[in-house]
Amino acid sequence: MPELPEVEVVRRGLELHVVGRRIERVEVGRERTVRRTSAAAVVTGLTGATMTAARRRGKYLVCDLDNGRAVMVHLRMSGQLVLAPASSPRPSHAHVVLTLTGDQELRFVDPRTFGEVVVFDPGRADVEVPELGRLGPDPVADGLTMRQLRRLLATRSRQVKALLLDQHALAGLGNIYTDEVLHVARVRYDRPANALTGRQVGALHRAMEAVLADAIAAGGSTLGDAQYVGLSGEAGRYQEQHRVYGRAGSPCPRCRGRNVIVRAPFGGRSTFFCARCQR
DNA sequence: CGATCTACCTGATGGC
DNA sequence: TGCCATCAGGTAGATC
């Protein structure tokens, strides 16, 4: 599922291939995708505009337009942004399609329709896209210092994984990367955040930087259901490096056969960890 | 404050 | 082969 690294790969694709190109035509095929505003608002807001910048905060993409407006895209569970020749067959669930100069289409594809496209007035962002203002620091876009992380952890008693997943505390981590980061840092998911030792906080900080950087470099994670792809339709490769996520029953890559990765229920979903080397 | 649950949705998968 | 149940998970909001 798209988390920080996947969204960052898409953002870089936009920066490289879409910024600077004029949007000639806009089609909205599914109202639900533009439910925040309306199809008309998205069509009039984007038609004729040129994207001037592609930014990211956590899992949110925010693109600036030369008409003074901005567009927010959230992929949620199954959303994809894909650039393709206008002449190529459109996949199912291409709910918003922008035709760009040069006969290419930027398609927002989203089978499960959790995702959203919102065209908004940056001056009114606090009312039109209020969630952007409630996001915690993004460890890649903003950087996250040791001091910030220590403070974040020390002031909460919740389970550390719940805190890392909370976008208001820290923006960008989802179920895959929290598990990966916690394994690298050798911290159990259910430790109270404020019970981590100074050593563990340091390990967590380093793990977060390393895992996110490696995942971005590998083009993100594309799971078996192939939901996530980059802007040009390319699959990620970081799933090959997953240590724990989706690996229940496999030997722990650190314990080397002395223990196996287990799966435990967590918040109605799953968490994967090694009970031996994560404490 | 935090823990837990629900809703939103479709496609893939497993059991029978 | 078909039918049904289950699972996947980002986020907001309700409830205790």
Token reading at A169: 């505390």
* Confidence label for A87 from pLDDT (cuts 50, 70 and 90): very high
| pLDDT single digits (tens) A46-74 | 999 999 999 999 999 999 999 999 999 99
pLDDT on residue A206? 97
| pLDDT single digits (tens) A95-143 | 999 999 999 999 999 999 999 999 999 999 988 999 999 999 999 999 9
Answer for A151: CB within 7 Å of strand C.
no
* Confidence label for A223 from pLDDT (cuts 50, 70 and 90): confident
Residues A267, A268, A272, A276, CA torsion sign: positive
Q: What is the pTM of this model?
A: 0.96
| pLDDT single digits (tens) A27-39 | 999 999 999 999 9
Task: Phi first, then psi: give them for residue A189, nearest 5 degrees.
Answer: -60, -30
* pLDDT over 90, % of chain A: 90
Model confidence at A267: pLDDT above 90: no
pLDDT on residue A27? 97
pLDDT on residue A227? 75
A9, amino acid identity: V
Alpha carbon separation from A116 to A18, A29, A34, A77, A219 (Å, rounded): 19, 13, 6, 11, 23
Answer for A175: CB within 7 Å of strand C.
yes
Alpha carbon distance A175, A134 (integer Å): 20
Q: Helices (H), strands (E): how many in chain A?
A: 8, 10
* Confidence label for A257 from pLDDT (cuts 50, 70 and 90): confident
Answer for A76: CB within 7 Å of strand C.
yes
Answer for A77: CB within 7 Å of strand C.
yes
For strand C, the positions having any atom within 7 A of a protein Cβ are 7-12
Bridge partners for A55 per DSSP: A62
DSSP type of residue A234:
P
* Confidence label for A226 from pLDDT (cuts 50, 70 and 90): low
**CB under 7 Å from any atom of strand B: which residues?**
A 32, 77, 92-93, 111-114, 156-159, 162, 192, 224-225, 267-268
- The set of catalytic residues of A is 2-3, 59, 269
For strand B, the positions having any atom within 7 A of a protein Cβ are 1-6, 8-13
